[in-house]
């Protein structure tokens, strides 16, 4: 890779895309304040409306034992029941007959406590209990509870309530062995009386809380994912969404975990409001969604499922169509890297992880694999670099002869390159090649839950930044810590720049001269808060690149043979391309204009 004008253009393009990517992923933070007031007002209005309706239409409470109407809810006690398998422990409440909390038995949070999902959340829908009274289902303390064992290790719990009008509501939950999802079957006997216009209106209010090292970064990774009309979609910066097509599922997604409501037959319509929290608490985000579906017949069963678990690609793929896209392997502007992740990086990573336990060494082998696959392209770059080195004395002579005549030098340089058969853009290939690879690995390492909590060398968690020192203050765009893997990535990038400067023609332009040192400095700010898996990859990739350059240029490429080949090409008649002819004409015209200007000044 040469630090000529074209290589610098490659570096500028690479740095520009880096900044554009991080600006794109962070811009939603600047929009939160705009949407927050609208969201709070909407939620407050809906809550006030619901409370008013409950107060006017439902001044009744139900005894948990008999189901009879009582005057004071405080006389009734809430009771909890539990089902668990190898993966989760599910806490149920008879208040509303629903899931109260789910504990993931194989994952710990930043406090070293087991991850809990679904707490402070509620599922609700209105029912007609008779005498023109409407009751929200989460106000009901279901009087009947039955726990049974199903087939193949499945466990079941059923809550039942009969209204004063004699109509029955049943909430049946099933937890199968080795599953994260809880199947929820709503059975309604007498839907024509229980539901207004035989439409079930579900209100799902769910919250997410910090599980990872820093809530700021985890909030940034949080979003809402859903399937509308059979197609995956998500919102990140917007806070509202009105569905225009049937909805298959909706999920509140954190960096590595998600809570998702799945409708086996789909919801007909609905809308949602959500927001990221902006305070310094451990709260990440809140979602309230209203989903409707028509219920046919007098007796009906609505099949739902609740997923509380990790954002694991293979597990999510078994839950619902396109639910695996919750794992962000590349979206929107960067969706072009998704095939790279899905069909190349994931299979190769899993292959190495199949026989190597330490994921740091898995990343090391993955880096070698990437370098080997891209070696034909980088070899052509190194060959171009070697040709440039051979031509450097001649270029220096031309520079000395023409002095400050930059346009004349550019024309003579182009002529020399054409005669020698040198591609001046060849040195840009490694820089440009890293763009899709970097973005693919950024998405892959940020969303790969298998790296979560995995230690390597001084890093305690490859899915987060490593820190060797904590600063007593925060530097904008840098943070309040120092990442050692970031330092190794920056230092090796700087070494590459210094090495390539030795093979670059004399460059008097200060912008071009110092650009190789500016780029590693920019990386210092970009990399310091990124997962150590990515900065470790970048370090290894840089070291391999340096070694390949040294070996290829010292032992494989024969500079005398290259020089002889250049001399042969010089003697071969060459036909100018249209681009070369137009470029030389343009340079000649600019040279004439400059000559006239110089004469005018005299």
Q: Does residue 348 share a domain with residue 298?
A: no
* Contact criterion met (CB below 8 Å) for 287 and 206: yes
pLDDT per position as a tens digit, 380-434: 676 676 666 677 777 777 777 776 666 677 777 777 676 666 666 655 666 677 7
Q: Does residue 394 share a domain with residue 318?
A: no
Q: What is the domain range of residue 433?
A: 5-23+338-571
Categorize the per-residue pLDDT at 37 as very low, low, confident or very high, splitting at 50, 70 and 90. very low
Residue 279 is inside which H or E element, if any? none
Q: Does residue 318 share a domain with residue 373?
A: no
pLDDT per position as a tens digit, 448-502: 999 999 999 999 999 989 988 888 888 887 888 889 999 999 999 888 877 777 6
Q: Does residue 99 share a domain with residue 16?
A: no
Domain assignment present for residue 397? The answer is yes
Separation between Cα atoms, residue 391 and residue 499, nearest integer Å: 17
Domain assignment present for residue 600? The answer is no
pLDDT per position as a tens digit, 250-307: 999 999 999 999 998 899 999 999 988 877 778 899 999 999 998 888 888 999 999 9
pLDDT for position 539: 93
Range of weakest confidence among 37-51, 200-214, 348-362: 37-51
Categorize the per-residue pLDDT at 50 as very low, low, confident or very high, splitting at 50, 70 and 90. very low
Q: Does residue 390 share a domain with residue 251?
A: no
pLDDT per position as a tens digit, 483-496: 999 999 999 988 88
Domain assignment present for residue 318? The answer is yes
Check pLDDT > 50 for residue 520: yes
Q: Does residue 214 share a domain with residue 191?
A: yes
Q: Are strands 257-267 and 299-310 parallel, antiparallel or unpaired?
A: antiparallel
pTM of the model: 0.77
pLDDT for position 131: 76
Q: Does residue 165 share a domain with residue 309?
A: yes
pLDDT per position as a tens digit, 120-156: 888 999 998 877 788 889 889 998 888 898 788 899 9
Q: Does residue 238 share a domain with residue 377?
A: no
pLDDT for position 26: 55
Domain assignment present for residue 585? The answer is no
Q: Does residue 67 share a domain with residue 18?
A: no
Q: How many CA atoms lie within 13 A of 440 on its CB side?
A: 20
Domain assignment present for residue 576? The answer is no
In the chain, pLDDT over 90 holds for what percent of residues? 39
Check pLDDT > 50 for residue 59: no
Domain CATH number, residue 262:
2.70.98.90
Helix (H, G, I), strand (E, B) or coil at 16: helix
pLDDT for position 322: 93
Check pLDDT > 80 for residue 181: yes
Q: How many CA atoms lie within 13 A of 500 on its CB side?
A: 31
pLDDT for position 278: 77
pLDDT for position 27: 53
Last residue within a domain, chosen from 299, 327, 355: 327
Domain assignment present for residue 578? The answer is no
pLDDT for position 70: 44
The better pLDDT of the pair 473, 356 is held by: 356
Q: Does residue 186 share a domain with residue 161?
A: yes
Domain assignment present for residue 19? The answer is yes
Q: How many domains does the chain have?
A: 2
In the chain, pLDDT over 70 holds for what percent of residues? 71
Kindly report the average pLDDT of the chain as a whole number: 80
pLDDT for position 22: 56
Q: Does residue 318 share a domain with residue 346?
A: no
pLDDT for position 474: 81
Domain assignment present for residue 53? The answer is no
pLDDT for position 45: 45
Q: How far is CA 415 from CA 418, 423, 564, in A?
A: 5, 12, 18
Closest CA to 299 of 191, 402, 198: 191
Categorize the per-residue pLDDT at 333 as very low, low, confident or very high, splitting at 50, 70 and 90. confident
Closest CA to 99 of 115, 120, 114, 73: 120
Categorize the per-residue pLDDT at 14 as very low, low, confident or very high, splitting at 50, 70 and 90. low
Q: Does residue 223 share a domain with residue 90?
A: yes
Range of weakest confidence among 91-95, 399-403, 512-516, 545-549: 512-516
């Amino acid at each position: 890779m040469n630090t000529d004008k074209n290589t610098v253009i490659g570096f500028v393009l690479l740095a520009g895309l880096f900044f554009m990517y991080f600006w794109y992923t962070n811009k939603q933070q600047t929009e939160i304040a705009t949407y927050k007031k609208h969201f709070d007002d909407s939620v407050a209005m809906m809550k006030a409306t619901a409370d008013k309706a409950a107060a006017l239409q439902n001044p009744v409470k139900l005894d948990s034992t008999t189901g009879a109407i009582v005057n004071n809810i405080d006389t009734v006690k809430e009771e909890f029941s539990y089902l668990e398998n190898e993966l989760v422990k599910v806490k149920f409440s008879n208040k509303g007959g629903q899931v109260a909390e789910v504990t993931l038995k194989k994952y710990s949070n930043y406090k070293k406590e087991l991850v809990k999902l679904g707490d402070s959340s509620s599922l609700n829908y209105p029912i007609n209990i008779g005498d023109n009274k409407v009751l929200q289902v989460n106000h009901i303390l279901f009087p009947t509870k039955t726990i049974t064992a199903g087939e193949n290790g499945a466990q079941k719990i059923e809550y039942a309530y009969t209204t004063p009008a004699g109509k029955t509501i049943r909430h049946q939950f099933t937890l199968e062995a080795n599953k994260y999802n809880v199947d929820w079957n709503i059975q309604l006997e007498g839907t024509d009386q229980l539901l207004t216009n035989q439409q079930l209106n579900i209100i799902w209010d769910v919250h997410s809380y910090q599980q990872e090292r820093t809530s700021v970064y985890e909030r940034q990774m949080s979003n809402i994912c859903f399937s509308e009309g059979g197609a995956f979609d998500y919102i990140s910066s917007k806070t509202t969404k009105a569905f225009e097509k049937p909805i298959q599922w909706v999920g509140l997604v954190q960096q590595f975990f998600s809570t998702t409501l799945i409708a086996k037959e789909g919801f007909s319509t609905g809308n949602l409001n959500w927001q990221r929290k902006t305070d310094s608490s451990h709260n990440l985000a809140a979602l309230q969604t209203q989903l409707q579906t028509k219920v046919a017949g007098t007796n009906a069963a609505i099949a739902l499922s609740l997923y509380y678990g990790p954002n694991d690609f293979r597990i999510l793929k078994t839950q619902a169509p396109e639910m695996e896209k919750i794992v962000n392997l590349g979206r929107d502007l960067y969706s072009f890297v998704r095939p790279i992740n899905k069909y190349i990086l994931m299979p190769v990573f899993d292959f190495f992880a199949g026989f190597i336990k330490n994921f740091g060494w898995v990343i090391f082998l993955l880096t070698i694999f990437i370098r080997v696959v891209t070696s034909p392209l980088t070899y052509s770059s190194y060959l171009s670099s070697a040709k440039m080195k051979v031509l450097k004395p001649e270029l220096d002579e031309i520079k000395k002869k023409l002095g400050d005549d930059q346009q004349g030098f550019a024309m003579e340089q182009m002529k020399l390159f054409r005669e020698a058969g040198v591609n001046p853009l060849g040195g840009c290939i490694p820089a440009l090649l890293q763009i899709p690879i970097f973005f693919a690995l950024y998405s892959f390492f940020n969303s790969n839950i298998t790296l979560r909590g995995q230690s390597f060398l001084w890093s305690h968690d490859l899915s987060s930044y490593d820190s060797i020192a904590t600063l007593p203050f925060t530097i904008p765009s840098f943070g309040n810590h120092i990442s050692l893997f970031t330092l190794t990535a920056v230092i090796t990038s700087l070494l590459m720049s210094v090495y390539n400067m030795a093979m670059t023609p004399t460059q008097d332009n200060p912008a071009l001269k110092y650009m190789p040192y500016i780029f590693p400095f920019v990386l210092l700010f970009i990399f310091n808060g990124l997962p150590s898996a990515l900065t470790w990859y970048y370090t290894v990739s840089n070291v391999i690149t340096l070694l390949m350059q040294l070996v290829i240029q010292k032992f494989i490429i024969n500079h005398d043979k290259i020089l002889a080949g250049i001399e042969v090409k010089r003697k071969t008649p060459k036909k100018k391309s249209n681009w070369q002819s137009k470029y030389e004409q343009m340079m000649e015209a600019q040279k004439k204009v400059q000559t006239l200007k110089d004469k005018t000044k005299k």
